[in-house]
């Protein structure tokens, strides 16, 4: 198993990309801390993982509440020991047109996607360094982080891309690897998709990506085979970044 004995913390683990990553990592032997806001969906995922012999615990955490970050990382370490791999996946999307975006639209998206990711990274890096540990941080960005950005979501993902690249240069000398994944549209409820709905999308493949395709890349980045893959995002966008 590729992650046998590794402890992994995943934010936004209860659905979509985060859930797919959690299931794949558990199948590869990781011990998981499933973080998110919806305790019910996290408990259901934990039970699913337990049903095939995997190990997982639940950590209720809204990453937009940045004052909680250090405490939540310590709580996570209380389950299976200090996590060695962190997947910062928690995110929100907006659908308003630019001329109609309000502060109420803007704040939750930026507070979760960018500010939340920023302070998660800070708490994770501090924890690793204070405990003399090496580790990996994988931030879920977006191909919109390389596209013109008039909306809160795309602006937040520009920030995640820049944050990941900047941190990668700063902390690699401590044995901490920071990388990111930039998915295009993915078949998740956050994208408004549900089973039975149209999966088509105008990219090189003609369809949106499955969450498992993003999880495969996350698994690759979580292994020692990618020690030199840091900073710049790995695109899973079907060519949208061309």
Residues in the chain: 242
- CA pair distance 2, 4, nearest whole angstrom: 6
DSSP symbol at 224: G
Can you list the alpha helix ranges (DSSP code H) found in 10-116? 16-27, 39-51, 69-80, 103-110
| 153 is an active site residue | yes
CATH architecture assigned to 7-236: 3-Layer(aba) Sandwich (3.40)
pTM of the model: 0.95
Residue 36 · residue 87 · CB < 8 Å: no
Q: One of 118, 146, 153, 174 is an active-site residue; which one?
A: 153
Q: What is the pLDDT along the chain (242 residues), one digit of tens a residue?
A: 899 999 999 999 999 999 999 999 999 999 999 999 999 999 999 999 999 999 999 999 999 999 999 999 999 999 999 999 999 999 999 888 999 999 999 999 999 999 999 999 999 999 999 999 999 999 999 998 888 889 999 999 999 999 999 999 999 999 999 999 999 888 887 766 657 676 677 677 778 789 999 999 999 999 988 888 888 899 998 887 65
Helix (H) or strand (E) holding 240: none
- CA pair distance 120, 90, nearest whole angstrom: 10
Which tokens is 138 given? 């994988």
Does residue 91 sit in helix, strand or coil? coil
């Amino acid at each position: 198993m590729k992650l046998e004995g590794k402890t992994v913390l995943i934010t936004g683990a209860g659905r979509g990309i985060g859930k797919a990553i959690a299931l794949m990592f558990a199948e590869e032997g990781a011990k998981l801390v499933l973080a998110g806001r919806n305790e019910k969906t996290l408990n259901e995922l934990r039970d699913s993982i337990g049903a095939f012999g995997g190990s997982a615990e639940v950590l209720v955490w809204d990453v937009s509440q940045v004052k909680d970050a250090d405490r939540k990382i310590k709580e996570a370490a209380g389950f299976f020991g200090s996590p060695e791999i962190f997947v910062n996946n928690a995110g929100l999307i907006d659908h308003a047109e630019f001329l109609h975006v309000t502060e109420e639209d803007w704040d939750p998206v930026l507070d979760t996607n960018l500010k939340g990711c920023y302070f998660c990274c800070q708490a994770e890096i501090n924890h690793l360094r204070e405990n003399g540990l090496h580790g990996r941080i994988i931030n879920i960005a977006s191909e919109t982080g390389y596209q013109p950005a008039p909306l809160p979501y795309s602006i937040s993902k520009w920030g995640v891309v820049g944050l990941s690249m900047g941190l990668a240069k700063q902390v690699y000398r401590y044995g901490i690897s920071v990388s990111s994944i930039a998915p295009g549209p993915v078949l998740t409820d956050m994208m408004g998709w549900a089973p039975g709905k149209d999966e088509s999308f105008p990219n090189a493949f003609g369809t949106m990506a499955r969450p498992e395709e993003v999880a495969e890349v996350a698994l690759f980045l979580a292994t020692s085979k990618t020690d030199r893959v840091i900073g710049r995002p790995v695109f899973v966008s079907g060519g949208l970044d061309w």
